[in-house]
Chain A
Amino acid sequence: MNGEPTAVAISARNGIEAAMRFVLPVVVLALGVLAWELIVRLKEIPPYELPGPVLVFQTLVEDWGLLSDSLLVTLWTTLQGFVLAAIGGVVLAVLFNQSRLIEYSFYPYAVILQVTPVVAIAPLLLIWLPQPAAVLACAWIVAFFPVLANTTLGLNSVDHNLADLFRLYGASRLQVLTRLKLPAALPYILGGLKIAGGLSLIGAVVAEMAASSAGAGSGLAYRIMESGYRLNIPRMFAALVLLSVAGIVIYFLLAWFSHLMLRRWHESAVVREG
């Protein structure tokens, strides 16, 4: 057994490694939660300072009606913001790619929109727009730029020889766009979407917080602010946990979608042996 590793040994080792990647974070989580509960109990920390995980979970169950409604509100905003950001980002990038004039005229403003902190814009948007629209606008502003920037990069990273080939065969502008540039940009677009999913949630939360200080709203961020004012810290934690889980689920859904789209041809999705 001390020569070349056999195929069985290799596949067993790969299996163990895959299991470790799943088991280890779970073990760390369990240990962390256990330590948290122990510290809270041993030190007798009051719940309004730091609730233990058991209490947080109880609150999550007891307040599920209220919290799930808020979760749906936040998720709905996030989803709308994400879809609009995806469409807006790709369409703008294609427009910029097709016309230098449009690109030079508007790209700087896309950057300005991105670099201005959304927390600072949110109160203004809340004055101008009805609250749901303002929250949505915030989610969109934060999420669309990575899609725009990545798609722009992707549309410009076409193999020059392939572009020449299309020219040699007399391809139309539309054919070059749909059959060469967009497929070549797809891995970049999907990379942008993965970032945009998380950012859209962040944008929605930031806007809900700004809105709740104006006394309106019902999303999860609003629940967090409200619980803070009422010193209902267990509920605050429960809402926070829901937000985290939502972010994780969004990330994995998009990563899975990206893998599905690219698995046949792109290097990033190819599982290499050995």
Chain B
Amino acid sequence: MISVALRDVSKSFPSGVTALDHFDLELHPGEFVSLLGPSGCGKSTALRLIAGLMAPTRGTVTWPSRGAAHHGEIGFVFQEPTLMPWGTVAANVQLPLSLRHADATDAGVRVAAALKQVGLDGFPHAYPRELSGGMKMRASIARALVTEPALLLMDEPFAALDEITRFKLNDDLIALWCAVKRTVVFVTHSVFESVYLSERVVVMTPRPGRVFAELRIDAPYPRDQQFRTSAEYASLCRQVSEALADASSRGGGA
């Protein structure tokens, strides 16, 4: 079974930049996939195509339920928290529901549940500027989860955070994924992050973006500090690094 498929997708921009070229990707329900590549390899473009935020120049993107119905089936987490500064944490998390005129009581329950999932249950009335970078990102993830989407798209969500916070959020994301088993597409330029988190790492070539290699990470979940320091993890990271180095030299050159 496939949840989303991109077939022979190309995307060029009016500026003449070809972000993706003959890009193929299939996502299976419940899997955790990382798109790994240097910046400018079209990772984010691929994510926006999957979300339906832009249309491919050539090729097709298929969702199981077609048309506008995928609104709400997709959660999107941007590189920045992208919260409305004028709204409280609760108002921000509730946004996807209130845009669809969901029942207020039911929405309140779901917002509380989503905040609990990301460990923000004590902060519904805080404003974004009162939160740390990591907490803002948690609020952003809670907002993406509140509609209980089948597909969660994350665009380098932890790239701007410090390492301690990033490791903590990596662990929490794994726990969350184990609990809810949604399909996750995680864009990153960190080899270590992609190996730690995913079942499958898709290595991309830069300019134009194309799938260079796919590596399975078969280590069991939940993964933790022990996995992070294991020889298995180190060897997997080496394999993925080598693939990434090959991809970069094979590509148009950075």
Inter-chain contacts of A183 with B (CB < 8 A): 84, 86-87
Interface residues of B in 114-147 (CB under 8 A from A): 127-129, 147
CB distance from A237 to the nearest CB of B (A): 45
* Measured CA separation A270–B127 after assembly (Å): 12
* Measured CA separation A256–B174 after assembly (Å): 47
Interface residues of A in 253-268 (CB under 8 A from B): 264-267
CB distance from A261 to the nearest CB of B (A): 10
Inter-chain contacts of B127 with A (CB < 8 A): 264-265
State which of A168, A171, A180, A265 has its C-beta within 8 Å of the C-beta of B76: A168
Stretch from A62-70, A91-99, A159-167, A193-201 that touches the partner: A159-167
Q: Chain A: interface secondary structure?
A: helix
Q: Are A168 and B82 in contact, CB atoms less than 8 angstroms apart?
A: no
Inter-chain contacts of A267 with B (CB < 8 A): 129
The verdict on A169 contacting chain B, using a C-beta distance below 8 Å, is yes
Inter-chain contacts of B78 with A (CB < 8 A): 161, 164-165
Number of A residues contacting the other chain (C-beta, 8 Å)? 22
State which of A168, A186, A264 has its C-beta within 8 Å of the C-beta of B71: A168
* Measured CA separation A164–B85 after assembly (Å): 16
State which of A159, A167, A186 has its C-beta within 8 Å of the C-beta of B82: A159
Q: Are A168 and B128 in contact, CB atoms less than 8 angstroms apart?
A: no
State whether A171 and B99 are in contact (beta carbons under 8 Å apart), knowing that A183-B84, A265-B86 are contacts in the complex.
yes
State whether A179 and B99 are in contact (beta carbons under 8 Å apart), knowing that A168-B76, A264-B127 are contacts in the complex.
yes
Q: Are A168 and B51 in contact, CB atoms less than 8 angstroms apart?
A: yes
* Measured CA separation A26–B78 after assembly (Å): 51
Interface residues of A in 141-182 (CB under 8 A from B): 159, 161-162, 164-171, 175, 179-180
Q: Are A168 and B52 in contact, CB atoms less than 8 angstroms apart?
A: yes
Inter-chain contacts of A266 with B (CB < 8 A): 85-86
Inter-chain contacts of B71 with A (CB < 8 A): 168-170
CB distance from B241 to the nearest CB of A (A): 30
* Measured CA separation A169–B147 after assembly (Å): 10
Q: Are B82 and A169 in contact, CB atoms less than 8 angstroms apart?
A: no
Inter-chain contacts of A165 with B (CB < 8 A): 76, 78, 82, 95
The verdict on B168 contacting chain A, using a C-beta distance below 8 Å, is no
* Measured CA separation A175–B97 after assembly (Å): 13
Q: Are A170 and B100 in contact, CB atoms less than 8 angstroms apart?
A: yes
The verdict on B72 contacting chain A, using a C-beta distance below 8 Å, is yes
The 10 A-B residue pairs with the shortest CB-CB distance, nearest first, are A170-B71, A161-B82, A183-B86, A161-B78, A169-B96, A265-B85, A169-B99, A171-B99, A265-B86, A265-B127
